[in-house]
Amino acid sequence: MKFQKVMTIIDGSKLNKEIDIAKSYEYGGSDEVFIYNYSEDEKIREEFYSLAKKTTSLLDIPLSIGCFVKRFEDIKIALYTGAKSLIIKINQIEDFDAIKEGSKRFGKDKLILYIENVSDISKLNSLDVKEYIDTIYIKNTNEMLNEANNKILNQFKIILEINEIDLQENIKKIDEVSGFAIENIQPNAIIDIKKILKSLDYNTNLPKTNIPFEQFKLNKDGLIPVIVQDYITADVLMLAYMNKESYNITIETGVMTYYSRSRSELWIKGETSGHYQYLKEISLDCDNDTMLAKVSQIGVACHTGNPSCFYTNLFKKDSNKANPLKVFTDVYDTILDRKNNPKEGSYTNYLFDKGIDKILKKCGEEATEIVIAAKNPNAEELRYEIADFMYHMMVLMAECNLDWNDITNELADRK
């Protein structure tokens, strides 16, 4: 059965509040977030692009954005925010050639047409869009879903904007529903919406466990230990215990819920401190008696204020091994700190002071050095030159307000 995503909608005119809302929707179980601001004012659009870029860098789920498009350049700028797709109002399109160019450049899956009244369907029918667009976003479904209109709409994949009344009355009228969008919803109600859709035979990704709790090997108290790990850094954060009830709540809500042995009750991690843990992945070991949970940690994990409960070092042996991801992030963080807190005599600050042209010149020089070194048989020289280039590349990233999340997210999108 084809998967139908649930997309949550945010009005993008409330600048700087939307990022927190988007994150809460992600934690609540949304498959995708749609944030929009269709203002034609250029300054407002620039602010919106900046907001979209910040939001995409913080979300682990896809972000689609909706904004005014006048020319191909607008499409390019919008998608360069890292958005999964751009949702364009059909009644704002002045030149369909811009849409054609955008589709050819980025792919027809990147552009979605937004229709909100019957006249929009007439316009959709008059334009030759099938070659360039494969998905339509429909608002105000009550007014538009009828047999005549559906003959046009059923040529496309459809995202329906719905409310709870629509769930029962209208969603069966379109053949190719690929997703549902809903606005003004509380994050904790997203799972309930998915349950309703599931009851109507739609394939939503309700959280479920692959192995029932009854197959776990529990200790004498009927509990199973859970090792908790940061899903990005892989740092081990804490050890806790679950019973069947806390496990099921964790799976359904995505919020780490444990069983307190000292208080003999369930406890939601972060309920008092605000340092919640949101489940990303959970695994069972080979003996079925220990679980490993990978989480998104808000704040610190330990009640002492330390990032991890495992902060007391008992023994450490020197090692040259280094986590490549941590090396990249540490070096970048040092470069960014130099940019924000200049240090006298710093070569990094010398580059920032000279500006973008000097940084680009150094990147070009180091790229050339890589080419020369690669032609020589000595791999050590090549290693040195690649490291030099990557340092200067990170200076360029910091100068242009990019970080490693921007780069890795872009690479992940290309899989």
The mean per-residue pLDDT over the stretch 38-59 comes to: 91
Write out pLDDT tens, residues 32-46: 999 999 999 999 999
Residue 396 lies in a domain: yes
Query: Does 339 lie in the same domain as 233?
Result: no
Q: What is the pLDDT of residue 18?
A: 75
CATH number of 278's domain:
3.10.20.810
Q: What is the pLDDT of residue 126?
A: 74
Query: Does 188 lie in the same domain as 65?
Result: yes
Query: Does 236 lie in the same domain as 186?
Result: no
Nearest Cα to Cα of residue 366 among 347, 346, 381, 349: 381
Residue 51 lies in a domain: yes
Boundary of a domain, candidates 142, 171, 199: 199
Domain count within the chain: 3
Domain that holds residue 263: 214-297
Residue 302 lies in a domain: no
Q: What is the pLDDT of residue 362?
A: 96
Residue with tokens 């907001």: 51
Torsion on CA atoms 311, 316, 321, 323, rounded to nearest 10 = 0
State percent of the chain over pLDDT 70: 92
SS3 112: strand
Distance CA 302, CA 400 (A): 35
Distance CA 248, CA 333 (A): 39
The mean per-residue pLDDT over the stretch 1-22 comes to: 81
Nearest Cα to Cα of residue 63 among 38, 44, 89, 81: 81
Which pLDDT band, with edges at 50, 70 and 90, does 94 fall under? confident
Instruction: Concatenate the DSSP letters of all residues of 31-50 into one string.
Output: SEEEEEE----HHHHHHHHH
Distance CA 7, CA 182 (A): 6
Q: What is the pLDDT of residue 273?
A: 94
Residue 229 lies in a domain: yes
Query: Does 166 lie in the same domain as 250?
Result: no
Boundary of a domain, candidates 174, 199, 224: 199
Nearest Cα to Cα of residue 389 among 340, 331, 339: 331
Q: What is the pLDDT of residue 412?
A: 77
Query: Does 241 lie in the same domain as 181?
Result: no
Torsion on CA atoms 376, 379, 385, 386, rounded to nearest 10 = 120
Q: What is the pLDDT of residue 320?
A: 62
Residue 206 lies in a domain: no
Q: Which of 1-5, 143-147, 365-369 has the lowest mean pLDDT?
A: 143-147
Which pLDDT band, with edges at 50, 70 and 90, does 284 fall under? very high
Query: Does 346 lie in the same domain as 282?
Result: no
Write down the mean pLDDT value for the chain.
Answer: 89
Inform me whether the pLDDT recorded for 76 exceeds 80.
Answer: yes
CATH number of 364's domain:
1.10.287.1080
The mean per-residue pLDDT over the stretch 52-63 comes to: 90
Distance CA 18, CA 36 (A): 10
CATH number of 132's domain:
3.20.20.70
The mean per-residue pLDDT over the stretch 57-82 comes to: 93
| Widest Cα–Cα separation across the chain | 74
Per-residue b/e over 311-323, b at no fewer than 16 CB within 10 Å?
eeeeeeeeeeeee
Amino acid at 316: K
Distance CA 392, CA 298 (A): 32
Write out pLDDT tens, residues 289-335: 999 999 999 999 999 999 999 999 998 877 666 677 788 989 999 99
**Crossing angle of helices 72-79 and 96-106, rounded to 10°:** 40
| Gyration radius of the chain over CA positions | 25
Q: What is the pLDDT of residue 299?
A: 94
Alpha-helix residue ranges (DSSP H) falling in 80-172: 96-106, 118-126, 141-144, 147-153, 164-169
Which pLDDT band, with edges at 50, 70 and 90, does 163 fall under? confident
DSSP assigned state of 387: H
Cβ distance 78 to 86 under 8 Å? yes
Write out pLDDT tens, residues 167-204: 655 555 566 788 999 998 999 899 989 988 888 888 88
Which pLDDT band, with edges at 50, 70 and 90, does 165 fall under? low
Q: What is the pLDDT of residue 173?
A: 55
State percent of the chain over pLDDT 90: 65
Cβ distance 257 to 267 under 8 Å? yes
Query: Does 234 lie in the same domain as 124?
Result: no
158 token code pair: 């459809």
Q: Where are the beta strands (DSSP E) in 216-313?
A: 224-230, 236-242, 257-260, 265-268, 277-284, 291-297
Q: What is the pLDDT of residue 125?
A: 76
How many angstroms from the chain centroid is the CA of residue 255? 18
Query: Does 344 lie in the same domain as 387?
Result: yes
Inform me whether the pLDDT recorded for 15 exceeds 70.
Answer: no
Query: For residue 184, what are the CA distances in angstroms to 9, 25, 107?
Result: 7, 11, 31
Boundary of a domain, candidates 152, 175, 199: 199
Write out pLDDT tens, residues 100-154: 999 999 999 999 999 988 888 878 877 778 889 999 999 866 667 666 677 777 7
Query: Does 354 lie in the same domain as 228?
Result: no
Tell me which H or E stretch contains 328: helix 324-340
Query: Does 240 lie in the same domain as 160?
Result: no
Query: Does 112 lie in the same domain as 83?
Result: yes
Q: What is the pLDDT of residue 171?
A: 57
Residues 6 or more apart in contact with residue 160 via CB below 8 angstroms? 138, 141, 166, 170, 171, 174, 177, 179, 180, 181
Residue 179 lies in a domain: yes
Residue 278 lies in a domain: yes
Q: What is the pLDDT of residue 45?
A: 93
